[in-house]
Structure 1
């Protein structure tokens, strides 16, 4: 045999195992039993591992790439989330392979397949709408650590990192009730996501606890975007009895709601109370400054990356389910108590 052409295929043939098994041995994967590992390593030595330098380099490259797939990079929440991940990934000596699914399960499948071909050491995924547990089963089966963030993926045997959507929504609505509001809307978001369901549940429960019957017409869904927020206001304006305040699905919707209110000569924070969800960087500098439920997207991204690297370094997949706490950050957009005279700014 020409030793300069020794390859993984040669080693697999000599060992009587598959090429993928040899690859797993080279990666130090715990999925290979000890007897097979010893046999493959012995043959690698006999055939001259030094001449398989390309495979060694490829293995090293694989171990230093982390895949990150998010569902909507046009939303600054996900951009900040990715920045947080990148901070941890880079400091640990890894390279971030970032992709945007645009809420397409097909696109998500394609980018994950591409990442696998490029040898990712692990994956952080914020799933596109409609993602099923089986969509990431091949990754888990192959021993690649996966951390699912933001949206839950029931049935997937992977680690998850979510924010406390229920508690955040409940705190926001309680605050609006405390300001004297009784007609409170829930504005924006896709109906078919668990995040929407959790936040609406918190919204409903806060109203019910205050003795305010939830009004189904006041739950106005739309795309979770700035344009979606504008659309929500247009639908709200035709109501015979309009809400006086609203909890928005996220900050992007809240910014759009503010735009839509102004287009109808209603000043956010004065003529209508607005609360967002996320606390993106722009929330603090918006006019009026946006009251919002702070999820700390960069911090969440950092925690997701730390959770993934922990599994990569351990060489095994230990499922962890983490729900991060949130807090209401009160600024100007929710206004002052509605029963008090408005003060001049």
Structure 2
């Protein structure tokens, strides 16, 4: 049997204030002092209270609210903008509207935006979780019967659907391509080492190094923020290695663009002096100079699949978890240059 819903009266009793004071806090009234507001807000969080501004929607099924929440961890990365476009293509044609929010990898911000979306009566949620997200963070949503689809980053133990790419196979293909061009010292660059995506892509790197008969050097694994700035910083560390590599498979395209920036800052030219492979195949990859060789994930396609899965669950009236692993493919462009001899790419920066 489901638990009794927490009411304003419960909040007032637990906080030791009147019902009207709780109502004023919910309305954001300036009549409530900061101390009382903080105490009431803390009680609401502890009791799991959710205030729904669309009160009329409470008398309707969640599937009739026509609002889809979309929460991503880094909207400055073009990948997530394309993902959101893919979601919008599907939900808009189905008569829904998406509420999009960015967490910037903050768990606190993620909790705030999800709570706000619930207040507005979302029918379901698509999210790329912030670092450190655990199954317990999704439990209130799943427990309330709100369909959730986790995209890009999986959350271990969460009873939610997921749409992720074949991270292992993607990096494996990238390393194998570089090895076929004659590279023997290949780095793996970028990504937060405490995420499942990093672990999966690193596993692909290790497998490929072994399969290609290359020596595994842990010094060539350089983690860092999965951003352009992170890539520029990481390649500086890569180039400081005594027996430095001649190529790198990057955690994503943003890191790859940063690696190219960092190479040029040190007098090296991507493709000619150092081969670069990205991961994602964002729109800018094909127009970059040099055009980026990358692992194509099809961000918009991933967004469409996530939205289709969510709508399927909304229409069914139940959230039966499903897991989709999207296939990937290597797209060869210009950033790896021509086949090399062992000496190329090791000139002094």
Does residue 295 (structure 1) correspond to residue 319 (structure 2)? The answer is: no
Q: Alignment partner for residue 134 of structure 1, among 118, 136, 147? A: 136
CA RMSD of aligned residues (A): 2.2
Q: Alignment partner for residue 252 of structure 1, among 244, 251, 254? A: 254
CA deviations 1:98-119 (Å, max 9, x no partner) are 1111101111011101111110
Q: Secondary structure at the match of 1:136?
A: helix
Q: Secondary structure at the match of 2:118?
A: helix
Does residue 189 (structure 1) correspond to residue 196 (structure 2)? The answer is: no
Aligned partner of 1:275 in structure 2 is 277
Instruction: Note if contact 2:150-2:163 (Cα within 8 Å) is conserved in structure 1.
Output: yes
Aligned partner of 1:50 in structure 2 is none
Q: Shift of the alpha carbon at 1:18? A: 6.0
Q: Shift of the alpha carbon at 1:222? A: 0.9
Aligned partner of 2:200 in structure 1 is 198
Distance 1:153 1:332 in 2: 35
Aligned partner of 1:227 in structure 2 is 229
Q: Shift of the alpha carbon at 1:94? A: 0.3
Aligned partner of 2:216 in structure 1 is 214
Q: Shift of the alpha carbon at 1:55? A: 2.4
Aligned partner of 2:120 in structure 1 is 118
Instruction: Note if contact 2:184-2:342 (Cα within 8 Å) is conserved in structure 1.
Output: no
Aligned partner of 1:99 in structure 2 is 101
Q: How many residues align?
A: 295
Aligned partner of 1:55 in structure 2 is 56
Distance 1:179 1:121 in 2: 50
Aligned partner of 2:287 in structure 1 is 285
Aligned partner of 1:145 in structure 2 is 147
Aligned partner of 1:6 in structure 2 is none
Distance 1:56 1:139 in 2: 17
Larger radius of gyration: 1
Distance 2:294 2:92 in 1: 30
> More deviation in 289-298 or 313-322?
313-322
Q: Shift of the alpha carbon at 1:234? A: 1.2
Distance 1:56 1:335 in 2: 58
Which aligned segments of 4 or more residues in structure 1 are displaced greater than 4 angstroms?
17-20
The TM-score normalised by the length of structure 1 is 0.82
Distance 1:193 1:208 in 2: 23
What stretches of structure 1 of length at least 5 have no aligned partner? 1-16, 21-52
The TM-score normalised by the length of structure 2 is 0.81
Distance 2:267 2:302 in 1: 37
Q: Secondary structure at the match of 1:191?
A: coil
> More deviation in 205-214 or 128-137?
205-214
> More deviation in 60-69 or 136-145?
60-69
Q: Secondary structure at the match of 1:161?
A: strand
